[in-house]
Structure 1
Amino acid sequence: MAGATGAGDDSAEGVATVSGLLEAIAAGTPHTGAGSPLPPAGQARAGAAVVLWRAALAAGLPAGALAGAGAFADADLDEAVWLELMRSSAEHSPALTDADLVAERAAAHPGRPDALLLAAVLVSQAPGTWREAAVRRHARALLDAAAVLPGADRPDAWRELREALVNAGDVDAARHP
C-alpha cells in the first residue's frame, strides 16, 4: 500500500494485490456443481473463505480492492451469504471480475433483494466492458422473473434494477409495472 512517500502507484499496487488475494482464496474454495454436500474439509475451506471475505469487506480498503471477489461467482457457499457478500463487494468495487458469472448466479434469485441490488450495481458498472451484454442479459432475466412475482413476494429492490437497466439503454425495462 502507500509507502513513506505516499506514492499513488503503491496504492494502486495494493489494490491489485488485495484483489488478486481474493481471487486466490476463491480459487481454493469448493465450487458449485459437485452435486453432493461438501465433505468436512470442503466445509472448513468454505467457512474460512467467508471469514476472510468478510474481513476484507470490513477492512476499509480503497475502492477497487475487492474486485477479485467476483471470482467467488461459483463458490459453493450458502446462497444468502454469497448474495450478501457479493452485493457488498460490488457496492465497494463495482468492476468485479467475472461480473457476467456473478450476474448469472444472482439471476436465479428474483425474490431476494440482495440479488436485485447486486444486478443493479453490475449493470451500472458494466458499460464499456466486454461482459456488458451478458451482465445485462442476466440482469434483465432477473428483472423479468421478479416482475411476475406476486406483489407481496416482490422485493422493492426490483425498482432499482429496472432503473439501472433503463439507464443502461434497455428501454423495454421501463414497461414493467
Structure 2
Amino acid sequence: MKKISDWRLLTTEQISSRIFYVIVALSAVLFILFWLIGYDMPYEEDPEYNAPLLTGVLVSFMIVLTIAAVALMTWGLIRSVRKNSDANRVVNNVPARRISLCVAGGFAAVMLLCFLLSDTTPLTINGERYADTFWLRMAGMFVGASLVMMVAAAAAVVFGATRYIRKK
C-alpha cells in the first residue's frame, strides 16, 4: 500500500477517485448535519418559514466547490493549450490542439448562449419579489448549461458505446 505522502506515485485515476470520494463524503456529512441539526428553526421575520441553522455552512461549501471547479477547469484549460502548442498540434494523427480549442470554445459558447437566452421574469421567493436581471440570468445560465452538458455527455457515451458495434 502506498503512503499518502507518495501521492505523486499515484495514477491520475487513483488521485481523482480519492478526491471524488472525499468530496462525496463531505457532502453527505454536511447534508445529513443540515437535516439533523436545527433544520426546524423558524425564520425570525416570518415564523411560517424555516431558517435551518447550517444553511450558511452548506452554501459556503457549495461556493467553495464551485470556485475550486472553475479554478481547476481554467488551470487545466491553460495547461492543455500550452501543452498542445505548435509543436504538438497533431499527436498520433489526432488534432490535439484543435480538440482543446474546440472544447474550450464550445464551453464558452454554451455558457454565453445560456446566459443570453435565460429568462428574466421576476420570481417570488419566500414571499418577496426577486427581479435582479443579472442574477436571474446567471442562475438560468448555470441551469441551462448543466442541462446542455448532461445531454452532450449522454450523447458522447452513446456514441462511444456504438463505436464497438460499428467496428465488428
| Structure that is richer in helix per residue | 2
TM-score, normalising length from structure 2? 0.32
Larger RCO: 1 or 2 (CA < 8 Å, sep 6+): 1
Task: Please say which structure displays the higher CA radius of gyration.
Answer: 2
